[in-house]
Structure 1
Amino acid sequence: MNQNAEYSAVNDAVRGHFFRRVWQLIWPYWRSEEKGKAWLLLASVIGLSLFSVWISVWMNSWYRDFYNALQKKDFAAFTHLILYFCGIAAVAILGAVYRLYLTQMLTIRWRRWLTQRHFNRWLDNKSYYQMEQGGYTDNPDQRISEDLNNFTSDTLSLVLGLIRTVVSLVSFSVILWGVSGSIEVFGVTIPGYMFWCALVYAIVGSFLTRWIGSSLIPLNNQQQRFEADMRFSLIRVRENAESIALYNGEPNEKERLTSRFGKVWSNYWSLMKVTKRLTFFTAGYGQAAVIFPFVVAAPRYFAGKIELGELMQINSAFGNVQGDMSWFIDSFSTIAGWKATCDRLISFRQAMIDNEGHKPAIGVEEQGESLSVDNLNLDLNDGRNLLAGANLSVAAGERLLLSGRSGSGKSTLLRAMGRLWPTGHGHIRLPAGRSLFLPQKPYLPIGTLRDALSYPQPGDTYSQERYVQVLQACRLPHLIDRLDEGNHWQRLLSPGEQQRLAFARALLFAPKWLYMDEATSAMDEEDEAALYQALIDQIPGLSIISVGHRSTLKRFHSRHVRIEGGHLVNQNASAPSAV
C-alpha cells in the first residue's frame, strides 16, 4: 500500500464499519482466558470512578453549607465543616490513588494480551516476511509497540471517562434543575433554566470544536507514520554503519534523514496551526464557563431569592453539568489520537488477515524421501516470468549445485522451496524429515554465542563438548571461550565468520536435507572447501542443494544444473530439458 495514501485508503475501507472493526480489536480480550480478572479489575475501576462522582456530589452540598456559614459568620459550623471535609478528602485521595493503580494494572494486562496475539499473528504463516515483500503496511514495529500501548490506555481512559461523565451529568443535572429555579422570558416561564443554559452552551461548544479540529485525526495519523519512518531510517544507518562509512555516504544519508525529518517538521507545523486554533477556542470556552453561571444566576441572587451558599452551589453544579456536557470538547485531542491509532491497527490487522487468507499459488508439501519440482513457473511481482516449466528431481543423498547468471532466479527457486515466494504456479514436493536453510546472510540473534549457534533451538540443546567440536571444525576456535558471552554477534563478526558460524549451526542440527543460498560467498576457497568437507564427513547421507557461482564448488556436488533463459538446463545440455 502506498504510504502517502494510507490514511485515505483506510478511511475508505472502513467508512461505516469503523466501530465494528474497533469492537473486533476490543472484545476478544474480554472473553479470553483472562476475562475473570479483566472484568473484576474493570468493575473495581468503575466502582471507584462512581465513588469519585459521589464525592463531587457531596462537595456540591458542602459548598452551599460552607458559604452560608461564612455569610452568617457561624464559627462552630465553619469548624465542623472543615473537619468533615478533611475526613472525606482523605477517603477521596485513597480512592483516586487506587483508581489510577488498578487502571494501570488493567491497561498493562490488556496490552500484554494484545501484544502476544499480534506477535503470534505477525510471526505465524511467515506473515512478517510476506507483508514486507508485499508492502502491505509500514512500520509494523511501531504498530505493535506504540500503537497497542496507546490503544489500550486511550480506550480505557475514554470509556471510563465517558462512564464517569454520564453518571456525573445525571447526578448534577438533577441538582442543577432543583436549585436553579425558573425564569420568565417574553412571558414564558422556563423551569430549571440553568440546566438549559448549560445544555445550549455545551452543544454550541462541541459543534465548534468538531468543526475547528476536524483535521487533527488525519494529521495525527500522518505524524505517527512520519516519526516511525524517521526512526527506521536512523536504525538503518546504525545497522549499516560500516558500509556507509566505507562508501563515504554521509552526505547522502544526511539528505535522506533531512528529507524524513522534513515530513515530520511540515506535518507538525500543520498540527500546531490546527491545535492553536482549537486551543484559542477551548481556552476561551473554558474561561467563559467560569463566569457564565454567575452572570446567569446573578439576577436571582441580587433579587434576594437565593443566598450566597445557594449561588455557589448553583455555580458548582453548573460547572459540573457544563463540564460533563463538554466532555467531547475536553477529550477531542485524545479522541483524535485514538482514532488515528485505531485506523493504523485496523489496517495492520486487515493486512495480517489478508495474508492468512491468501492461498499460495505454488503448492508445496512434504512427502517421501526425494525432492521433486513439477512444472514450476516463478513470476516477479511486476508480472514478468523468471522461470518457466521447471522440472527437477533430487534423490536422497544427492548433492546438487544450482548456478546461473545474477538475477536468473536461483535464490528465488530456493525461496519457493522454503514457502517464501508468493507468485507463480506449479508444485514442489519436499522430502519429509529434518531440513535446514542457510541464507547468504545468516541471522544471529542478540544474546549468547551459544544461543546464536543453536538457533532456532534453545542454547542448552547441545552439550558443551559438541559446541566446541563444531567451532573447531568450522575454523572458529577463537570463539570457544566466548560461548556464554552476550553480544550483538551480527555486528561483531565478519561476514566470513558469520557464514562459518552458520555451517557450525548446520553441523549441530545435522539435517537430512540442507539448502544453501550462496552460503560461502564471504569465505575464501580454502575455508569453503574445509566446511563443505566437514558437512559431508560428519553428516552421512546428507542431501545438499547449493546455489553458487564458484567453479570450486563443483567437486562437492554430484550434479550441476544451470538456469539459462528462464529454464533449468543440465551442465552438459545444450537446450532446455527436464532435469
Structure 2
Amino acid sequence: MRRIVSFLHDAWALARPYWTSEERWRARGMLALLVVLNLSLVGLNVLLTFWQRAFYNALEARDWDGFQSLLLTWRVNEEGFLPGFCGIAAVFILIAVYQLYLRQALQIRWRRWMTVVYLERWLADRAYYRLALSEGGRGSRGQAEEGTDNPDQRIAEDVRLYVDNTLALGLDLMSTVVTLFSFVAVLWSLSGPLTLFGLDIPGYMVWVAMIYAVFGTVVTHLIGRRLIGLNFDRQRVEADFRFALMRLRENAEGIALYGGERDEHRGLAERFRALMENFWSIMVTTKRVTFFTASYSQVAIIFPFVVAAPAFFAGKVTLGGLFQISSAFGQVQGSLSWFVTSYRDLADWRATVRRLTGFDAALAAARAAAAEGPALREGPALGVEGLGLDLPDGRRLLADAALTVRPGESVVITGASGSGKSTLLRAIAGIWPFGRGTVTRPLARAGEDQAGEDPAGGAPAQPVGTATAGGTALFLPQRPYLPLGTLRRAVCYPADAARYTDAEIGAALEKAGLGALRDRLDEVSAWDRRLSGGEQQRVALARALLLRPDWLFLDEATASLDPAAEQHLYRVLKQELPGTALVSVAHRPAVAEFHDRRVQVKDGGLVEAAAAPA
C-alpha cells in the first residue's frame, strides 16, 4: 500500500504543474466538459438496459408494434417514456465522437506544455551537458545514477505516454466508478433476495459480482505484477537500440573507413538481444495474464445467466428482465474488474511515471549542481586562479593553475594530448563541473540579451551564446556544431539569422574560403554530414568573422585544415578581428606566431613559455 501511495504521489507531482499553470482554466474547462460527456455515456448505458428489457419483452410477447416503436421511434409503457434504439444510438455516436475529439485536443495541449517545460529544464543551467557527462547510468564519481539515459526518449516518448495514459485511465476510472454506482442500484432492485442456509441475502447478484471481481483482481495482480518492471526496462532497451542505430547513421563515414561493419553489427546485435530478452519476458508474463483475463471475461458472459436462471425458470423473471439482469451484472462486474482489464495499461503507466520521475530528479540534481566546479567571478580581464580540474571519474588534470588574459590579447595554449587543454577552455566557459578554484570573466555589456524565464518557475534559462567581457565570447571546438536546417542558420549560430544580410553572410563565407556556398544559404541539408571536416571548421570560422565576438576561443578549431590554410585563416582572423582577444589550443608550432604569448600545460599546471616570435 505504501508503494501505491508513493506512486500516486509521483503521478500527481508530474500532473500538478500543468493543472495549476497559466493554461489551467482552459484545461480545467476541457476536462469538465469531458467529464460531462463521459457521464452522459454512462447515462445512455443505463437507459439502454431498460430499453433492452422492454425490447426482449416485446419479442417474448410477439408484440410487433412495440418491436417497431422500440427500434425506430419511442414507446410509453408502465415505466414511462423510452426512446427508440435509433435515437439512443445517434446520441451515443455523437457524444462518443466529440468525447474522443476533446480528449485528443486536451492530450496534445498537455503534451505541448510538458514538452516545452522539459526542454526548458533540460537546456537551463546546461543540465543537458551535465547529464551527458553521466549518461549511461554512471555518476560523476562512478556511482550509478537513474534518469540520465536517453533524455530524448523521455521527452519525446515518455511525456506522450504519460499524458495519454493519465487521461485515458483517469477518465476511464471515473466512468467506471459512476457506472458501478449506477448499475449497483439497478442490479440490487432486479436481483431480489436469496435464501442461503436460512439467511435472506438482499441484492445477492451484487454480492456475487463483487466476489467474482475481487477474485479476478487478486489473481491478475499475482500473475502480472512482473509487467511493471519489465515495461520499465522495455522503454530503456528500446531507446538504447534506437540510439545505437542513430549513432551508426551519424558516424557512417568513420565506420566505413575503419571497415567496422562487423563490430557495429555485433554491438547492435547485443543491444537487440537485450531487447528481445525483455520482449520474451513480457510475452511470457502477458500470456499468463491474458490466459486468465480471457478466461475470466468469457466466463463473465454466461455467469449472470447461470446465476439468474433459477428465477427465470421459476417464472419470477421475464426474458427481458433476464437480459436486463445480465446487462446490469456485466456492468457491475466489469466496473469492479477495472483493475483486471486495465492491468497492462496500468503497468505501462507506472513504468512511464517512474522514468519521468527519475528524469525530473536527474534534472533537478544537474541544475542544483550548476554552481559546482570552479567559482565564476566578474572582473576587468580573463583569469584563472588556484584552478584544479578533474575528469568525471575523479582523475586529476590540473592543480593550482593560474592564467591571466587581457582584453585584445592573444594567447596560445599547448601541451601533450590529454593534459587538460580542452578541459581548461570548458572551465573558462563555465560548463565544467568537476574542479575548484576561481575563473574571472569580464562583465557583460549593457544591452546583451538576457536569459528567459523558466516556465516551470525555476532558475532563468541559459542565454544562447556566452555573454562576457565588454561584449561576447565565442567558443569553437575541434568538431564544430552545425544545427539542423539551412546553411544560413549554421553560419549564424547561435545568433538569430535574421540579424544578418545575405551579403554579410556571403562575405564571411568568402573570407573563410567557402565562397562556393554563398548562393546556397537557404538550402536545407544535413550539413554536418555533407561537408568535410575541414569545410565544417571553415563554417565555424566564418561564424566567428560574422558574429565578431570580443573573446574568441579556438580548441584546435583548425586541426582539420592543411598548414597553409590554417595560417591563412589565422591571418584573416587577426586582420578582421583586431580588437578580439584570441585564446587558442593548438599543437602545430606555426599557430604560435599569430599569438602574443604561449602557455604550456605541464605537470598539472600552466607554465608561461617563451614569447611567440613576432
Is TM (by shorter chain) over 0.5?
yes
User: What's the counterpart of residue 61 of structure 2?
Assistant: 72
Query: What code does the residue aligned with 1:106 have?
Result: L
CA contact (8 A) 1:221 1:344 kept: yes
1:94 aligns to 2:132 (yes or no): no
Q: Distance in 2 between matches of 1:419 and 1:368?
A: 15
Q: Distance in 2 between matches of 1:49 and 1:167?
A: 10
TM-superposed CA distance for 1:20, in Å, is 1.9
Q: Distance in 1 between matches of 2:185 and 2:322?
A: 16
1:128 aligns to 2:139 (yes or no): no
User: What's the counterpart of residue 510 of structure 1?
Assistant: 548
CA contact (8 A) 1:435 1:512 kept: yes
Q: How does 1:97-496 map to 2 (within 5 A)?
A: 97-135=97-135, 136=145, 137-365=148-376, 367-431=378-442, 432=469, 433-496=471-534
CA contact (8 A) 2:126 2:367 kept: no
Greater shift, 351-360 or 265-274, is seen at: 351-360
1:33 aligns to 2:22 (yes or no): yes
Greater shift, 389-398 or 363-372, is seen at: 363-372
Moved over 6 A (4+): none
CA contact (8 A) 1:410 1:547 kept: yes
CA contact (8 A) 1:65 1:309 kept: yes
Q: Give the secondary structure class of the aligned counterpart of 1:443.
A: coil
Q: Distance in 1 between matches of 2:441 and 2:327?
A: 76
TM-superposed CA distance for 1:458, in Å, is 1.9
User: What's the counterpart of residue 450 of structure 2?
Assistant: none
1:20 aligns to 2:41 (yes or no): no
TM-superposed CA distance for 1:366, in Å, is 5.3
The 1:567/1:540 distance shift into structure 2, 3 A limit, reads: same
Q: Give the secondary structure class of the aligned counterpart of 1:519.
A: coil
Q: Distance in 2 between matches of 1:519 and 1:24?
A: 45
Q: Distance in 2 between matches of 1:359 and 1:472?
A: 39
Query: What code does the residue aligned with 1:454 have?
Result: C
Deviations 1:462-484 (Å, cap 9, x if unpaired)? Answer: 11111121111111111111111
CA contact (8 A) 2:375 2:436 kept: no
Q: Distance in 1 between matches of 2:95 and 2:490?
A: 50
Deviations 1:21-44 (Å, cap 9, x if unpaired)? Answer: 221110111111111110111011
TM-superposed CA distance for 1:361, in Å, is 3.2
CA contact (8 A) 1:364 1:417 kept: no
Q: Distance in 2 between matches of 1:463 and 1:316?
A: 72
Q: Distance in 1 between matches of 2:404 and 2:308?
A: 93
Q: Distance in 2 between matches of 1:469 and 1:364?
A: 39
CA contact (8 A) 1:438 1:516 kept: yes
Query: What code does the residue aligned with 1:571 have?
Result: A
Q: 1:547 aligns with which of 585, 592, 604?
A: 585
Q: Give the secondary structure class of the aligned counterpart of 2:513.
A: coil
The 1:318/1:100 distance shift into structure 2, 3 A limit, reads: same
Q: Give the secondary structure class of the aligned counterpart of 1:487.
A: coil
Query: What code does the residue aligned with 1:172 have?
Result: F
Q: Give the secondary structure class of the aligned counterpart of 1:362.
A: coil
CA contact (8 A) 2:597 2:610 kept: no
Structure 2 residue runs without a partner (length 5+):
73-83, 136-144, 443-468
Q: Distance in 2 between matches of 1:87 and 1:400?
A: 84
Equivalent pairs counted in the alignment come to 561
Q: How does 1:41-56 map to 2 (within 5 A)?
A: 41-56=30-45
Q: Give the secondary structure class of the aligned counterpart of 2:431.
A: coil
CA contact (8 A) 2:554 2:583 kept: yes
Larger proportion of helix: 1
CA contact (8 A) 2:183 2:328 kept: yes
Q: Give the secondary structure class of the aligned counterpart of 1:96.
A: helix
CA contact (8 A) 2:553 2:584 kept: yes
TM-superposed CA distance for 1:532, in Å, is 1.0
CA contact (8 A) 2:411 2:595 kept: yes
